[in-house]
Amino acid sequence: MSKFKKKKGGEMPAVNTASLPDIVFMLLFFFMVATVMRQNTLMIENKLPQADQVEKLDKKSLVMYIYAGKPSTNYKSQYGSEARIQLNDKFADVKDIAAFIASERASKREEEVPFLTTALKVDSKANMGLVTDIKQELRKVNALKINYTTRKGDALEGLKK
Amino acid sequence: MAKRAAPEVNAGSMADIAFLLLIFFLVTTTIETDSGLNRKLPPMEESEDDVIIKEKNIFQLEVNRSNQLFLKTGGEEKIIEIKDLRKAAVSFLDNGGGAGDNACQYCQGEKNPRSSDNFQKAIISLQNDRATHYDTYIAVQNEIIAAYNELRDREFKKANPSLDLSFVEASNAYSDARTAPATKAKLKVKLQEIKDRVPQIFSEAEPKKSN
């Protein structure tokens, strides 16, 4: 009779899966944190006006964004408090729009170009002068489909604020 | 009493629950899509020959630098509140004052001879100042689109009573990716018919310089 008796049966011990949920949660949190929703960092105040007759802007890949508004507080000392245009991550001038549209078009497939829409994300306090300049510039480069991006809400209510 | 060891809770299914949650959130999360007013800019090359338009067919709006709205139509000129604009625009578009060839077969308005002939002839024109606020401009645009949508809804319901959809709902269904292609094709024809019947003829004059 040996002292070290062999355990009877060749059963495999169950693998402990208690830490599996932790691994899954870690993955979940990683993706939640790593997902970037906004492409551009806004350097301007961008409180959009309200409207209720809106249409959805589907197909994100076919939209070019032009932002405009007053520089936010961090940039005020450098760029003043007049409303300005922001393209991608930089402040831009009206005449930079043509180059911006051209580069956006070049990055898309050729058959997609006619469906490109320009979304104007303009701060509700901006003046129409700036918007008109942008529109003129877009007409020059033949980017005629535009969308005045708004928040959903009653347009008249929005005016009172 | 003898102390009993607490039985171990089986945590094997915890992973399944976590996966279920993960998948649920993955499926339901839609990254917020932008929405706004779609417009089309006029092309740069203007046709040289001026088109002659009867004054009664123009609904002329002007927003000045202090965000007041002026309306000039049918020989009268007045200041109008933005909240009254939708009604005024609808009654202008829907007037149907034309006779003979210009008679409007769908209009239900009051047939004022000093207002628009029919949907094809009625033009809404908007002029703004460079100092006009953007939110005022959007509100005006919104009301104009609302007026057109109101008429298109009416015509769409009249033309397709069986569908039980308004024009706006139908065009949303058309642009929705989940709608079946066969339904889309049918909707496209119907939507186009209404768009032709009530066209959005909207002209934007270049803004005045404010000195």
Q: Say yes or no to pLDDT of B28 above 70.
A: no
- Structure tokens that stand for A127 in this block: 């003046």
Domain positions in chain B? 58-204
A53 touches B146 (CB < 8 A): yes
Please state, in angstroms and rounded to a whole number, the distance separating the CA atoms of residues B196 and A127: 34
Q: Is B9 on the interface with A (CB under 8 A)?
A: no
Tens-digit pLDDT string for chain A (161 aa): 556 766 566 777 887 777 777 887 887 777 776 665 556 677 888 888 888 888 888 777 788 889 998 888 888 888 888 888 988 888 888 888 999 999 989 988 888 888 889 999 999 888 888 898 899 888 888 888 899 998 888 877 777 66
pLDDT attached to residue A9: 65
The DSSP bridge partners found for residue B125 are B60, B203
Between CA A7 and CA A14 the distance in angstroms is 16
What residues contact residue A28 under an 8 Å CB cut-off, 6+ apart? Answer: B18, B21, B22, B25
The answer as to whether A159 is a domain residue is no
Please tell me the distance from the alpha carbon of residue B207 to that of residue B211, in angstroms, as a whole number: 12
Average pLDDT, chain B: 81
Q: Indicate the angle between helix axes B134-159 and A128-140, nearest 10 degrees.
A: 60
- Count of domains observed in chain A: 1
Instruction: State yes or no: pLDDT of B45 exceeds 60.
Output: yes
- Determine the Cα–Cα distance for residues A143 and A146; give it in Å rounded to an integer: 8
What number is the average pLDDT over the span B124-135? 88
Answer yes or no: are the C-beta atoms of A127 and A107 closer than 8 Å.
no
Per the CB < 8 A criterion, the answer to whether A33 and A8 are in contact is no
Dist CA A88 CA A100 (whole Å): 9
Cβ neighbours of A140 in B, within 8 Å = 44
| The Cα angle at residue B191 between residues B187 and B195, in degrees rounded to 5 | 170
Average pLDDT over residues B44-65: 77
- Residue A146 has its nearest CB partner, among B15, B35, B41, at B41
> B35–A27: do the CB atoms touch at under 8 Å?
no
Please answer yes or no on whether B139 and A51 come within 8 Å at the CB atom: yes
ipTM score of the complex? 0.74
| Best CA proximity match to B125, nearest among B207, B201, B210 | B201
Structural domain includes residue A123: yes
CATH number at residue A74: 3.30.420.270
Residues linked to residue A29 through DSSP beta bridges, in sequence order: none
Instruction: Give the highest mean pLDDT range of A75-84, B19-28, B134-143.
Output: B134-143
pLDDT (mean) for B78-104:
83
- Residue A87 located in a structural domain: yes
Residue B211: pLDDT band with limits 50, 70, 90: very low
User: What per-residue confidence (pLDDT) applies to B159?
Assistant: 85
User: Is the Cβ pair B143, A60 closer than 8 Å?
Assistant: no
Over residues B106-135, mean pLDDT: 84
Q: Containing H/E element for A97? A: helix A97-106
What token pair was written down for B62?
């002007």
Contacts of A117 in chain B (CB under 8 A): 38
Q: Which distant-in-sequence residues (6+ apart) come within 8 Å of A109 by Cβ?
A: none
**Closest chain B C-alpha to A132 CA, distance in angstroms:** 8
**pLDDT for position A1:** 54
Residue A97: list chain B partners with CB under 8 A. Answer: none
Locate B201 and state its tokens.
């003829």
**In the predicted model, what is the mean pLDDT of residues B46-75?**
79
Contacting residues for A27 by C-beta, under 8 A, at least 6 apart: B22
Q: How far apart are CA B127 and CA B46, in angstroms?
A: 18
Query: What does pTM read for this prediction?
Result: 0.77
Do residues B86 and B29 make contact, with C-beta atoms less than 8 angstroms apart? no
